[in-house]
A = this chain, B = another copy of it.
Amino acid sequence: MRVQELAEIVDGRVVGDGGTRIERIADLDHAREGEIAYVDNEKMFAAAAESKASCLIVRDGVELLDRTLIAVANPKLAFALVGAALHPSVRREPTIHPTAVVAETADIALTAYVGPNVCIGEHTHVGAYTRLEAGVVLGSNVTVGDDCVLHPNVVLYDGVSIGSRVILHAGVCLGADGFGYVRHDLGYTKFPQVGTVVIEDEVEIGAHSCVDRAALGRTRIGRGTKLDNMVHVGHNCDIGERVVIAAQTGISGSVVIEDDAVIGGQVGFGDHTRVQKGAVIGSKAGILPGKIVRPGVWWGIPIQPLDQYKRMNAHMNRLPEMREHLKRLEAEIEKLKRQSTDYTE
């Protein structure tokens, strides 16, 4: 594509030769002729000056001589959009592969792609332009919206519903039974897990993540939320919109995470916790059951406000010194006692 075309996509202003051909995106250091990179802040100026990229996306007002530029308000966002234009995700011809096993009552959009060895159960709906890659298994009464991509070996249990423009990476499992049992004299009896899972539009879920069905009712992942790899979401959780959750975080049953929360990796949530809108929780944090996490930045096991966590850490690092201090005072008191003519035990 030409620089001029790319600039139009991102609503940018071309400085230099709009006819320059661009084939790929790249980072500043590795970019070569025919490639486009971006400059997000002043720290990148030195690398930008050295870069061999044929075009740079810069912030409005930034001037870099001798280079074709696209000036925009948000260079990183523009770069993402340019990347999507230059590297569109794989297109598949609409088809149902002959090895796919599709129930007669399933309703598959004519524009959908159903790959090799895909299995689709009774009364399941697959929307327009959706891609089901090899080995995907959809149970019965599943709903998959339009323009979704389900990567190989994704499994959706019966009754699960996902919106449009959803991306599920390889091995994602939605709708397995929640972890609930009733203890009695002879052991454990399974508590019914007869609810479902609802994934809203524009959610992306990383490889091997699992979202369990609700015991009763539904487990929900809100619109535009992004989960990294190997995230576990327990039964009856309600995750809001535009939430970001990094890899290997585990969320127990009935947790509520409100919109726009940001959750690090390997975080653990006790059941029935509630994370309020806009809270940020650092990686490896642990949240006790039932806790309400207010807006702000949280850290540690159990979590505390980041400031307090840092102070606590500083105090702990001063423990050896405190101990020395204590000994010194003791020695002085001893001396005072010995020297005080009045002192008696």
Residues on A facing B (Cβ under 8 Å): 24-27, 30, 74, 76-77, 79-81, 83-84, 87, 90, 97, 99, 101, 115-117, 119, 133-135, 137, 140, 151-153, 155, 157-158, 167, 169-171, 173, 176-177, 179, 181-182, 184, 187-192, 194, 202, 204, 206-208, 210, 212, 216-217, 223-224, 226, 228-230, 232, 234, 241-242, 244, 246-248, 250, 252, 265-266, 268, 270, 283-284, 286, 301, 311-312, 315-320, 322-323, 325-326, 329-330, 332-333, 335-337, 339-344
Query: Per a CB cutoff under 8 Å, which of B153, B192, B230, B319 touches A135?
Result: B153
Cα A265 to Cα B268 with chains together (Å): 8
Contact B135 A137 (CB under 8 A): yes
* Top-7 shortest CB links A-B: A83-B192, A315-B319, A187-B224, A137-B152, A119-B134, A101-B116, A155-B170
* B192 and A229 contacting across the interface, CB-CB below 8 Å: no
A200 to chain B, nearest CB (A): 12
Protomer copies:
3
Q: Report which of B30, B194, B223, B311 forms a contact with A217, defined as CB distance below 8 A.
A: B30
B171 touches A151 (CB 8 A): no
Q: In the docked arrangement, what's the CA distance between A335 and B158, Å? A: 76
Instruction: Give the chain B neighbours of A234 by CB distance below 8 A.
Output: 247
Q: Which residues of B contact A99 (CB under 8 A)?
A: 99, 101, 117
Q: Which of B25, B76, B223 contacts A216 (CB 8 A)?
A: B25
* Contact indicator A315/B323 (Cβ below 8 Å): yes
Question: Closest Cβ of chain B: how far from A182's Cβ, in Å?
Answer: 5
Q: Is the CB of A340 within 8 A of B337?
A: no
Further contacts, 5 of them, CB under 8 A, given A170-B173, A301-B301: A27-B216, A101-B117, A179-B246, A190-B204, A332-B333
